[in-house]
Structure 1
Amino acid sequence: MRFSPLIDQLMQALRCLPGVGPKSAQRMALHLLERDPQGAQHLIDSLQQALDKVDHCQQCRTLSETPLCPICADPRRDASLLCVVETPADLWALEQTQGYQGYYFVLLGRLSPLEGIGPDDLGLAFLLQRLQQASIQELILATNPTLEGDTTAQYIALRARNLKRPPLKITRLAHGVPLGGELEYLDGGTLVRAFSGRQVYTDT
């Protein structure tokens, strides 16, 4: 069966969502058009408002409606800790554990020469600038345990060690994070164990 051009366009648009294939997109599109037009309009309005008003935090680079996200604007956080993650989803996964009270830096990706993603694309110059702050005593590398994530962690650690500043402790999430896993999909208990078991980072 062939759908009208506009319905087909809607289904193709819905497929941009992660995990949504042709059948799921078809089911969503028909549900919104046939059974929940008010829900469809609410979705349109919410998406447009988010696109208009959500940007990146000027300090940690996570998604935020304000120049500083609520975490960076919270003076009660531990200023001696800075945790580097790949995505806002990873930040939110760690925050849900309530086991970490420091600040963050979001790379918005990971080093990948094959995809043309280099240090400048990840804001690493800004990260190194932040690490010049004497208040930061520990850098926690929480990139995902993948080949690209490990390469990114190694690069950051190397650059951080060469900074002209007081000695900086560099750690990496350890126990409980499976090789090739994504922080976004790990349960809270696993992430808490990973934080409590973090180790001093070495290149070997």
Structure 2
Amino acid sequence: MSRKVSGPEIERVVQLLARLPGLGPRSARKAALTLLKRRNELLLPLSEALATAAEKVVACSVCGNLDTVSPCSLCQDPRRDRSLIVVVEEIGDLWALERAGVVGGLYHVLGGHLSPLDGVGPDQLNIAGLIERARTDEVTEILLALNATVEGQSTAHYLTEQLAGADVVVSRLAQGVPIGGELDYLDEGTLAAAIKSRRRL
């Protein structure tokens, strides 16, 4: 039986860090130790930044992006092409496309993908908001920039059916995105190629 080597305060930090994606118990302990050893340059600024983020960051009422204002900075940007809405599964995918600098339009974050086995149906995703946006006069194209996974493909198929009644072109990412690939892990060149060679469904 392993014995605790630190107090409950440190154990709490480790437990919370271990919940983050990519951090197991061992990595969480290492991160916690680094933060505690470098209290003034890392721990205190990080705790202040997290407290500020918790207080000020909100989900955009239009697209679902995270920002300190709603509608978000992207939705308010007058230089954006309002005829194009790029649909992504998660905010990380939106950030990946923005890093690549290849999208001039607006975004729509679904908040995941359809997964009946996990209890995720259309009502659990931001699909109704997308359909509503697609029916406005400004929008002429919906680009489905979903992950090239089985769930991403089935979500894209469902959305294509739902958007059939709207007067918009529905397109998808083409070459560049490998089967099983996730947008947040792709390089900017791959994302650029996928955006430029999108095709109509």
- Please indicate the TM-score interval, normalised by the length of the shorter structure: over 0.9
- SS of residue in 1 equivalent to 2:4: coil
Are 2:191 and 1:188 aligned? no
Equivalent residue number for residue 197 of structure 1: 197
Specify which of 6, 13, 18 is matched with residue 21 of structure 2: 18
Give, as a single letter, the amino acid of the residue that structure 2 aligns with 1:185: Y
Q: CA deviation at 1:113?
A: 1.0
Specify which of 94, 102, 105 is matched with residue 102 of structure 1: 105
Give per-residue Cα distances to partners, 1:1-21, cap 9 Å, x unaligned.
532233222211111111112
Alignment partners' CA distance in 2, 1:11 and 1:70: 34
The number of equivalent residue pairs is 197
Q: CA deviation at 1:160?
A: 0.2
Greater fraction helix: 2
Q: CA deviation at 1:108?
A: 1.1
Q: CA deviation at 1:116?
A: 1.2
Unaligned ranges ≥5, structure 1 = none
What is the TM-score normalised by the length of structure 2? 0.94
Alignment partners' CA distance in 2, 1:118 and 1:141: 18
Equivalent residue number for residue 88 of structure 2: 85
Of all paired residues, the percent bearing the same amino acid is: 44
Are 2:172 and 1:172 aligned? yes
What is the TM-score normalised by the length of structure 1? 0.92
Are 2:67 and 1:64 aligned? yes
Give per-residue Cα distances to partners, 1:89-136, cap 9 Å, x unaligned.
101111111111011100111111111111121121111011111211
Measured on the aligned residues, the alpha-carbon RMSD in Å equals 1.2
Unaligned ranges ≥5, structure 2 = none
